Structure 1
Amino acid sequence: MTVELIDPPGLPVPGIYHQMAVARGSRTVYLAGQVARSAEGEPVGPGDLAAQAEQAFLNVATALEAAGGSVDDVAKLTLYVVDWSPDKLEALGEGVGRAQERLGRDLTKPVTLIPVVALAEPDLLIEVDATAVLD
């Protein structure tokens, strides 16, 4: 396994993410932030955080596959969410859950969530940035 996910003693176990990842490998992949766009560049899920999160994570998976990896190789995620508030956690979790089901992979990784006022385009609600380590 290239990435070992750890919740060390002395830190809380969040359940929805892990506290750290220890990565071993020879290639590091830095993805551009992935958003809710189809392969043709069309918007997916306007106004729907769950739908946009699902598509953004599917796009992360597609990019990693092109590099010869998978979401299993992700060492760190950064989520940028427009107008974040705790009441959006359910929609975010729903979208991530649907992406996990479609991929058949666990997306529980070390994560940083950063609230933002806006993203590059006005219809975007989430951007997912990933760093992965491949063998």
Structure 2
Amino acid sequence: QVHIAGQVAWNENGELVAPGDLAGQVTQVYRNVAKALDAAGATFPDVVRVTWYAAGWKREMYDAFNAGIEQAAREFDIATPPAALIGVDVLFEPGILIEAEVTAIID
């Protein structure tokens, strides 16, 4: 099992990508997850669960969230794995709109 936690929309320099843009942050999280999976010898088809934490979640944010998921699906040629979306008041740093935990299973 591969467990990847705390994936947010930071780039390799620790700078926030897509401030204020939920779709952009979701896509950056997927980019970061791709790197973490690769480091563990896993790929997106190995992912069995994604848990998303969304700061200040409101139902009207779903379209932007889904747009980020769709962009990542195109960028990485992946199907959407089973996921849960949990709304929280805030995440650990201002500006971070979304955080993901990912579980993958590899042989």
Range into which the TM-score falls when normalised by the shorter chain: over 0.9
Matched residues in 2 for 1:115 and 1:75: separation? 21
Alignment partner of 1:83 is 2:83: no
Corresponding residue for residue 92 of structure 2:
120
- Give the match's secondary structure for 2:64: helix
* Post-superposition CA distance 1:66-113 (Å, at most 9, x none): 11111111111100001111111100011111111111222x111111
Whichever structure has more helix as a proportion of its residues is: 2
Deviating 4+ runs (over 2 angstroms): none
Q: Which has the higher contact order (CA 8 A, sep 6+)?
A: 2
- Give the match's secondary structure for 1:53: helix
TM-score by length of 1: 0.76
Matched residues in 2 for 1:100 and 1:110: separation? 13
Matched residues in 1 for 2:85 and 2:20: separation? 19
Corresponding residue for residue 25 of structure 1:
none
- Cα deviation for residue 40 of structure 1 reads 1.3
> Pick from 50, 59, 82: which aligns with 1:110?
82
Corresponding residue for residue 63 of structure 1:
36
TM-score by length of 2: 0.96
Matched residues in 2 for 1:116 and 1:55: separation? 20
Alpha-carbon RMSD = 0.8
Amino acid at match of 1:86: R
- Cα deviation for residue 42 of structure 1 reads 1.0
Matched residues in 1 for 2:31 and 2:61: separation? 20
Corresponding residue for residue 50 of structure 1:
23
Structure 1: gaps spanning 5 or more residues? 1-27
